[in-house]
Each structure stands twice: as C-alpha cells, then as structure tokens.
C-alpha cells in the first residue's frame, strides 16, 4: 500500500486506487455488455453496473474495463486444481457510447491470503488474521487517462477495518442494492432477482 500511495496520487475526485494483488491474469476473456462472466463459479447472482468518465465529467466511450473476483467460497479461478483451464470470475468489457458498462456474475466472499510461509509467521507474530474483505478488482484504461487499478469492497463484508494488506479506502466501500427481475436502475434488463453493485469510476488525465 505504500507503493500505491506513492505512485497513485490522482487529483481531485478521480477514483481512488488500491493494490493490484496476486490474482490478476493477463489476457482475460472479452465479454459483451450484459454477459454472465461467472464461468460457473458458486455464489448468489450479482449485477454490476457502472460508468467510466473523466474528471471533467465527460463519459468515456470504449474504455477497457477489466475485472476479477473470488467466488462465494473465497477462491479465485487460478486457485482451482485445473488452474486457468477454465477462466471464471474474470474478464474484460468495453464501455458503450455513454461510458456505461454492465455484466452479471456472483457475489464474492472474503478470503485469506496464503499464510503457510513467512507471511503467516509474520501475521502470527503480530496477532493478525490473514483475511481480506470481499471485493471485486477493477483495472480500467482509456486513451489519455491514467490506468485505474482499484477494488470495490462490499459494505456488508467482514474485515473492512482489518484488511490484512491494508487495501481498504472508505471511498471504495460499496453497498449491495436489491435488483428485481426486469428493467435495472441503469436501463438494462435482468431475468431474475439479484443483488446489484453500482459504481461510477472517474479516470484522471495522464499526468504531463
């Protein structure tokens, strides 16, 4: 987090950054807006809706929105025995002309970082637990803008005040909303009731 704090001092109301984490994978699959990206992961259904804009308020069309998250048991796809034979809970979508994006997936759970080595010894010595609160990772990029690496933390998760990697920022804590089948709050359409995670991201201009 010290590296994040030093390298990512974005101006004004640009969305705050946090750590990339070890579970990012290059070349995640591309999806169409509205697709189910869960890949069969376990968990309750979740709608994710958002927008990407600049600090001047303009919507950014064609922004590349990459995301990845754990399942309801707290595992990423790369932690399965088959590794990335079947990517799940990760992908890329591009924003529409209004800067909007949406996809469907499952609600992730909190999870422990690996604590069977020196990191575990350090945590035990500090009497700290190894858990991270439930979150969805995002990496969002667009021409002329600084690439945003961040998470949205679920507001009802445990460990928000004791994230083992100190990654939580208040502005990135997001409450789940209730979404009934039919038209969504952002004008999309879902076939069943589900929770909804909504957030509008603001990208900083490339620093000169």
Instruction: Provide CB contacts within 8 A for 134, sequence distance 6+.
Output: 70, 107, 108, 109, 110, 153, 154, 157
Nearer to Fe ion, 142 or 152 (CB): 152
Find the part of the chain contacting Fe ion (CB under 5 A) among 20-28, 31-39, 83-91, 95-103: 20-28
**Coil, strand or helix: which one is 122?**
helix
Nearer to Fe ion, 60 or 109 (CB): 109
Using the structure block, give the residue that is written with the tokens 């350090």: 122
**Interaction between residue 21 and Fe ion (CB under 5 A):** yes
Q: What is the DSSP letter of 102?
A: E
Find the part of the chain contacting Fe ion (CB under 5 A) among 14-22, 58-66, 79-87, 173-181: 14-22
Give me the residue whose beta carbon is nearest to Fe ion.
21
Q: What is the dihedral of CA 75, 79, 81, 83, to 10 degrees?
A: 120
Shortest Cβ distance from residue 11 to Fe ion (Å)? 26
Nearer to Fe ion, 101 or 138 (CB): 138
Number of residues that bind Fe ion (CB under 5 A): 1
The sign of the dihedral angle between the CA atoms of 72, 78, 79, 85 is: positive
Shortest Cβ distance from residue 135 to Fe ion (Å)? 6
Nearer to Fe ion, 21 or 112 (CB): 21
Are 140 and 204 contacting, i.e. CB atoms less than 8 angstroms apart?
Answer: no
Q: Which residues bind Fe ion (CB under 5 A)?
A: 21
């Amino acid at each position: 987090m010290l590296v994040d704090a030093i390298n990512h001092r974005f101006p004004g109301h640009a969305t705050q950054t946090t750590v990339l984490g070890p579970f990012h994978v290059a070349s995640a699959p591309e999806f169409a807006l509205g697709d189910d990206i869960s890949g069969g992961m376990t968990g309750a259904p979740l709608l994710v809706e958002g927008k990407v804009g600049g600090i001047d308020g303009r919507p950014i069309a064609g922004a590349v929105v990459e995301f990845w998250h754990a399942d309801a048991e707290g595992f990423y796809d790369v932690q399965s025995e088959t590794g990335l034979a079947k990517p799940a809970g990760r992908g890329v979508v591009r924003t529409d002309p209004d800067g909007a994006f949406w996809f469907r997936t499952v609600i992730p759970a909190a999870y422990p970082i690996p604590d069977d080595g020196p990191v575990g010894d350090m945590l035990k010595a500090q009497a700290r637990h190894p858990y991270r609160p439930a979150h969805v990772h995002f990496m969002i990029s667009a021409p002329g803008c600084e690439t945003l690496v961040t998470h949205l933390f679920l507001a009802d998760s445990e460990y928000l005040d004791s994230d083992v990697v100190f990654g939580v920022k208040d502005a990135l804590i997001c409450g789940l909303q209730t979404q009934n089948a039919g038209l969504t709050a952002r004008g999309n359409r879902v076939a069943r009731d589900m929770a909804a995670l909504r957030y509008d991201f603001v990208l900083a201009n490339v620093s000169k």
